[in-house]
Amino acid sequence: MGAFFVNFHVRTRSRKSVMPVLRNLINTRAYVSSPRGGWVSVYEERTSLQDDEEIVRLARELSSHVEKPEIGYLVHNSDVLCY
């Protein structure tokens, strides 16, 4: 069995700009990384179930509210990578 996960990367040097926005957009657990190379990574629990509608919603709203570019990645069974 391969890996299944989703993550988002926001083009910002401020973890603090992502945290309050994320709290308003989700009601699950999430990990938000410290900035690295000008990006903050977000791993949100519900999107890891690979619900396409939730992934698109969260990506769109997170980018819009933080007002920064963002990219999301989905790995499915260690065989498929979507971004």
Question: pLDDT digit string (tens) for 42-83?
Answer: 999 999 999 999 999 999 999 999 999 999 999 999 999 999
Phi first, then psi: what are they for 32, rounded to 5°? Answer: -120, 120
Assess whether pLDDT exceeds 90 at residue 1: no
Copy the structure tokens of residue 54: 């939730």
Architecture of domain 5-82: 2-Layer Sandwich (3.30)
Q: How far is 43 from 47, CA to CA, in rounded Å? A: 8
C-alpha 13/C-alpha 69 separation (Å) is 12
Q: What is the pLDDT averaged over residues 1-21?
A: 94
Instruction: Determine the average pLDDT of the residues in 3-18.
Output: 95
Instruction: For residues 49 and 76, give the distance between their C-alpha atoms in angstroms, rounded to a whole number.
Output: 10
